[in-house]
Amino acid sequence: MQQTVTAGSPPRVAPNVRININPGAEISARMDRLPITQHLWMLVFLISLGGFFEVYDLIFTGYIAPGMAKSGLLQTTTHAFFGLTGIAGFIAATFVGLFVGTFGFGWMPDRYGRRAVFTFSLLWYSVGSAIMAFQATPEGVILWRFITGIGVGLEIITIDSYVTELVPQHMRGRAIAFNQTVMFAAAPVAAILSYWLVPTTVFGIDGWRVVVLAGAIGAVLVWFIRRAVPESPRWLATHGNVERGERIVGMIEAIVERQYGQPLPPPLNAIEQPVHRHASFAELLQPPYRSRLIMLTVFNFCQAIGYYGFVNWVPTLLIAHGITVTKSLLYSFIIAFAMPAGALLAMLYADKIQRKYLIVGSALAVVICGLAFGQVTSVVPLIITGVLISFAGQTMSVSCHTYQSELFPTAVRCRASGIVYSASRIGAMLSGFIIAALLKDFGVPGVFTGITACMLVVMIAIGVFGPKTNGLRLEELNH
């Protein structure tokens, strides 16, 4: 049962009707009426800095692969489909770890808070990466890649919910787009470092190891910066700590009002909702969350094969076109610039066009440009189509990260996001083996035929079954 009342007044209910009400409804009403100011953008930026190194870790997977193969540590292809001594095994270990982090530990931010898990998971990643960089056997590298992936997976779902809950509803799309811009600025950084370092050695250390260590060291530095970010007031309210949540909202309001230069508008109507007694999986099997869970699981599985099937294999796909290792890394660096640029561009329309339509449209663009990438042979068309695929992929990424965080209530937001997002980890894990097999048997055109099939499923799942979310408050979307 849902009640809508003016913030500060008691809900009107029929006589003799008992209802359990979320005590933090007024907190959401106060936050959703905030005008967009520098302070809100700064909060998103600080959270995004933590995500920068998670994306750095994911992106360098493809860029350091040629260096690992050149050093003889891993093989480009293996005789067995699930060979664990090749690049595909390294990619698979990454996404198995991400799967465990998202599916197995997604409940942690809902229980212990967004801020605490945010910090813990970044330190996990930093330590795991540092250890992996000094491994001397394929088995050691793959094991620590798996362990590092757990921390990365937990971090990413925490970031999505954290940003979604700290900004008003009219800013959610742009906030995630800005978040993705900062995070995916790591893509060209990882690409250029790989271009400089992977073909060489630094003080006798393989260049690819230095690339890995750079992310581990940087993540530790950011840990000190992001201590300025408060806990999510919405999360505090769902756990009965309304007083602390109100103090945080009050501090945010004071800073926003000072920057706004005039009194804040009155709070919106408070949308009261039943209390979520347990942040449990069983709750997600009830309407309307069950259908959303299934839809987003299918979407995440298929889009991951298409998205990471391109991102993680750009240098290798360019080499398959006859381009040398060094030049393939340079061209990959150019293509990688489209990642933050694409997310930045999405800020212009993320809250103006329905997110479900953005997802469908970007999937279609990946299909068209991907098929073109598989057919062209000269350098300029390859780079242009690669950039366009990256643009489309970033629009999809911005939209889906916002979308899946909106469709579940605060009490189970991270758990639900972890479950559906874990499907993308399975898809990404399999993508390495699938792309390797398609590349071996059918060449680059075969790779993009497989990506096309996955994107068609994405378009059907979201286009047919996805609800509209733009401009709606989180409480409206989750009755």
pLDDT band at 438 (very low <50, low <70, confident <90, very high): confident
What is the DSSP code (8-state) at residue 408? S
Answer yes or no: is pLDDT of 15 > 70: no
Ordered structural domains, the chain, with CATH: 25-242+274-468 (1.20.1250.20)
pLDDT band at 150 (very low <50, low <70, confident <90, very high): very high
Helix, strand, coil distribution of the chain in percent, nearest 5? 75, 5, 25
Q: Which range, of 14-18, 91-95, 328-332, averages the lowest pLDDT?
A: 14-18
User: CA-to-CA distance for 52 and 340, rounded, in angstroms?
Assistant: 11
Percentage of the chain exceeding pLDDT 70: 86
Q: What is the pLDDT of residues 382-425, one digit of tens each?
A: 788 888 888 888 899 899 999 999 999 888 899 999 999 888 87
Which contiguous run of DSSP H or E holds residue 85? none
Extract the tokens encoding 404. Answer: 């899946």
Percentage of the chain exceeding pLDDT 90: 33
Structure-model confidence comparison of residues 81 and 323, the more confident one: 323
> Residue 326: its pLDDT value, please?
58
Structure-model confidence comparison of residues 462 and 215, the more confident one: 462
Nearest to 279 by CA among 226, 238, 230: 238
Give the DSSP letter string of 188-212.
Answer: HHHHHHHHHHTTSEETTEEHHHHHH
Q: Average pLDDT for residues 172-201, to the nearest whole number?
A: 87
> Residue 172: its pLDDT value, please?
94
> Residue 79: its pLDDT value, please?
47
> Residue 7: its pLDDT value, please?
40
Mean pLDDT of the chain: 82
Give the DSSP letter string of 20-47.
Answer: -B-TTHHHHHHHTTPPP-HHHHHHHHHH
Q: Average pLDDT for residues 177-205, to the nearest whole number?
A: 85
Pick the most confident of 91-100, 186-195, 276-285, 290-299. Answer: 290-299
Q: Average pLDDT for residues 20-24, to the nearest whole number?
A: 53
- This prediction has a pTM of 0.80
pLDDT band at 312 (very low <50, low <70, confident <90, very high): low
Angle between the 325-336 and 379-406 helix axes, to the nearest 10 degrees? 50
Answer yes or no: is pLDDT of 269 > 60: yes
Q: Are 99 and 152 in contact (CB under 8 A)?
A: no
> Residue 273: its pLDDT value, please?
59
Q: Are strands 269-272 and 3-6 parallel, antiparallel or unpaired?
A: antiparallel
Extract the tokens encoding 344. Answer: 């930045």
Answer yes or no: is pLDDT of 8 > 50: no
Answer yes or no: is pLDDT of 294 > 90: yes
Structure-model confidence comparison of residues 231 and 472, the more confident one: 231
